[in-house]
Structure 1
Amino acid sequence: MDHKYDILQLLEQVKNGEITPEDALLDLKIAPFEDLGYAKVDYHRSVRQGSSEVIFGQGKTAQQIQGIVKSMHAKGSQNILITRISNDKIDYLEKEIDLDYRRNAHLAIAYPKETTSLGNIVVATGGTSDMNVAEEAAVTAEVLGNHVTRLYDVGVAGIHRLLSNLEPLMSARVVIAVAGMEGALASVVGGLVDCPVIGVPTSVGYGASFEGVSALLSMLNSCASGVSVVNIDNGFGAGYLASRINQMEGLK
């Protein structure tokens, strides 16, 4: 169900005299969210932002997640993203709802539906250890309707690995650079491409990396233009932002 389409239909009914403005206003007042007691589910997120509300799984019980998902699905939502979800919650939810679990990304898609793939987002990692965060970014972008190219383990310690992949990098509309340790990948990529680069610092590294703070500060201090940075290990945030940029580009 497209909530934007629903609102347009409602306005058409008012225009045609099939419903009074007062009744239409009441429908709109009721529609924005539902209070489940433990959560207020935002049904108008897709109207404002183009995609359904995303459920942050960490800290919620499996039963709470189930309740939120079912209320969203009852309103027509599909491809509902559940981030940072643990295996024990998945064991419960898989028996209750249609679920596509991406273990490497710690992410699940409730009531999955095939989407179109627009543009090209490249997700690159400094090392194999950064892949969980990168997969969270990549799967998020794919579910939101973007074509994603993965370039994993192309860090600056062996920069020839990165330079051998210049073609996909140069053809990208957005690049997500995921790296721990010193986080240099974002700056290097930023100096090579002509599109926005989103740096994702990860908590991968030895003691002086301070669980990702070192990589975060390195990316924030990047001398390459066009590099923005999300929080440590925030693959979801990078994938969502990349989708926004990519799909804005696609409208030109």
Structure 2
Amino acid sequence: MPDERLDSHPDVTFDRDRQARIGLEEAVLAEPKTSGQIAAIIDDALRENRRLLLTRMAPAQYGALPDRQRSVLDYCALSRSAILGSLPPQADTPRVALVSAGTSDAAAVTEARRVLAYSGLAVTEVADVGVAGLWRLLDRAPLLRKMQVLIVFAGMDAALPSVVAGLVPGVVIAVPTSVGYGVATGGRTALDAALASCAPGVLVTNIDNGYGAACAALRFAHAAAQSEGIYAKKKGSR
């Protein structure tokens, strides 16, 4: 059961046992929180000498933190994410690729990459392979077919996840992004297109949700590791 005691701020009860329970640490969604709440959460982690991942932290929120906290945070304005503590060694299994239609998708891509790095999973990045220039994607198809998990980022009509899923055998996770003109602005068109994909088995996150896509990849990684462990145990008992 989670530790029910209150942290240093009365509005915060941190789920310290989530890693042991589901394999994923709790991340702190900073966007709706006050600077005082964020500072209290960081102080709590510093007192316990534990790592911390904060998502959707605006530059103004980061700037409002005490100097002593900013000096120990790895903050990325592009992804609006912050990491307290060092990264673990980066594993290259399962093989994970971050595939993006264009450089406009960089914020969501970077968020996913940093979440995966925080959890110790290395990635291969394949950028600017949108379907408007299909040859760019086809040139990278041999590499993509070697990947076990592909997180695919695309805005506008979000055709890229469907095309990728028609080329590769790996798990495809679509991240519709809020990139585009007119009706595509805000990402709803991309979300609807990804949900309506004719490619079988495409999984879809919410708009710009690089964090959620990374967590889905991590769940796959944990499930694969458990399966390999069970197989190895059975093989050794023969």
TM-score norm. by structure 2 comes to 0.87
For the 8 Å contact 2:179–2:185, the answer to whether it is kept is: no
C-alpha change, 1:186 and 1:72, in structure 2 (3 Å) is same
* Cross-structure match for 2:193: 218
For the 8 Å contact 2:57–2:81, the answer to whether it is kept is: yes
* Cross-structure match for 1:57: 30
* Cross-structure match for 2:84: 110
Q: Deviations over 1:118-141 (max 9, x none)?
A: 412101111111111111111111
From 69, 72, 83, the equivalent of 2:55 is 83
For the 8 Å contact 1:137–1:235, the answer to whether it is kept is: yes
* Cross-structure match for 1:250: 225
Matching of residues 1-252 of structure 1 within 5 Å: 31-35=3-7, 36-78=9-51, 80-93=52-65, 95-97=67-69, 98-119=72-93, 120-251=95-226, 252=228
Shift of 1:76: 4.2
**Amino acid corresponding to residue 220 of structure 2 in structure 1:** I
Q: Secondary structure at the match of 1:205?
A: coil
TM-score norm. by structure 1 comes to 0.82
Larger deviation, residues 53-62 vs 34-43: 34-43
For the 8 Å contact 2:23–2:222, the answer to whether it is kept is: no
Q: Deviations over 1:60-101 (max 9, x none)?
A: 1222112112223433421x1111111122234372231111
Q: Which has the larger radius of gyration?
A: 1
Shift of 1:210: 4.5
Q: Which runs of 5+ in 2 are unaligned?
A: 229-238
Shift of 1:33: 4.7
Query: How far apart, in 2, do the equivalents of 1:156 and 1:138 lie?
Result: 22
Percentage identity across aligned positions?
36
For the 8 Å contact 1:118–1:250, the answer to whether it is kept is: no
Q: Secondary structure at the match of 2:186?
A: helix
CA RMSD of aligned residues (A): 1.8
